[in-house]
């Protein structure tokens, strides 16, 4: 069994209205070009134990299709950003469980199966690559229009949000870069996100 891939996401999230126009991302430090919108029809299913052992430890277990990183994900929060471990959709599964063996093993210190459906989010995402003069990725901006359902309560909600995630060519001063993002987004009519994650928002009912 191969080890999962690992990445650290450093990002900022914003709530926006349905008709809020995208700002001019070219005004951000180091950005020289903006790629064409890439549509990603994301479908994410979240799982947890009966007693929400993962949610109580701020851990998310997700199976997602429709994007370049589709697969199984485990996400945790740390001071340097959101840590994410990724397994492919066809990762080996044993017995009658739905979650791959490697994921179950990685979560063993936090919780034991069964992991049952918790929430489902459908999200037609438009992603934009912000690049510097050499073509390197400064940041990725995504425009999300989310429809979600909390499987255990039946609560449904829909909303729009933007995420700005740093890329390999992001400026060294992340604080200054995100300050510029804040200024641009707030001027366009956006607001700092009320929830840290989509899962947290759909469960807040």
- pLDDT at 151 (0 to 100): 97
Domain boundaries 5-203, corresponding CATH code: 2.40.320.10
Q: Is 204 exposed, middle or buried (0-12, 13-18, 19+ CB in 10 A)?
A: exposed
pLDDT by residue for the chain (205 residues), tens only, comes to 568 999 999 999 999 999 999 999 999 999 999 999 999 999 999 999 999 999 999 999 999 999 999 999 999 988 888 999 999 999 999 877 889 999 999 999 999 999 999 999 999 999 999 999 999 999 999 999 999 999 999 999 999 999 999 999 999 999 999 999 999 999 999 999 999 999 999 998 6
> 44 and 62 in contact (C-beta within 8 Å)?
yes
Q: Is 119 exposed, middle or buried (0-12, 13-18, 19+ CB in 10 A)?
A: buried
Query: pTM of the full predicted structure?
Result: 0.93
Distance CA 202, CA 121 (A): 9
3-state DSSP assignment of residue 27 = helix
- pLDDT at 78 (0 to 100): 85
Distance CA 113, CA 98 (A): 10
Radius of gyration of the chain (CA): 18
- pLDDT at 166 (0 to 100): 98
């Amino acid at each position: 069994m191969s080890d999962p891939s690992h990445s650290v996401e450093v990002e900022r999230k914003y709530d926006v209205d349905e008709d809020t126009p995208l700002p001019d991302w070219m005004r951000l430090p180091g950005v020289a070009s903006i790629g064409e919108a890439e549509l990603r029809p994301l479908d994410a299913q979240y799982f947890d134990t009966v007693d929400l052992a993962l949610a109580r430890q701020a851990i998310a277990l997700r199976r997602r299709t429709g994007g370049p990183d589709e697969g199984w994900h485990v996400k945790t929060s740390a001071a340097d950003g959101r840590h994410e471990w990724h397994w492919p959709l066809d990762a080996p599964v044993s017995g009658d469980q739905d979650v791959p063996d490697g994921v179950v093993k990685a979560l063993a210190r936090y919780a034991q199966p069964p992991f049952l459906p918790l929430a489902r989010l459908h999200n037609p995402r438009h992603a934009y690559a912000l690049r510097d003069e050499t073509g390197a990725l400064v940041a990725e901006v995504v425009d999300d229009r989310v429809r979600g359902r909390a499987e255990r309560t039946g609560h449904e909600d829909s909303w729009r949000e933007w995420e700005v995630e740093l890329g390999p060519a992001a400026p060294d001063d992340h604080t200054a870069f995100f300050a510029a993002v804040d200024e641009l987004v707030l001027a366009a009519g956006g607001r700092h996100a009320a929830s840290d994650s989509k899962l947290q928002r759909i469960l807040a009912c």
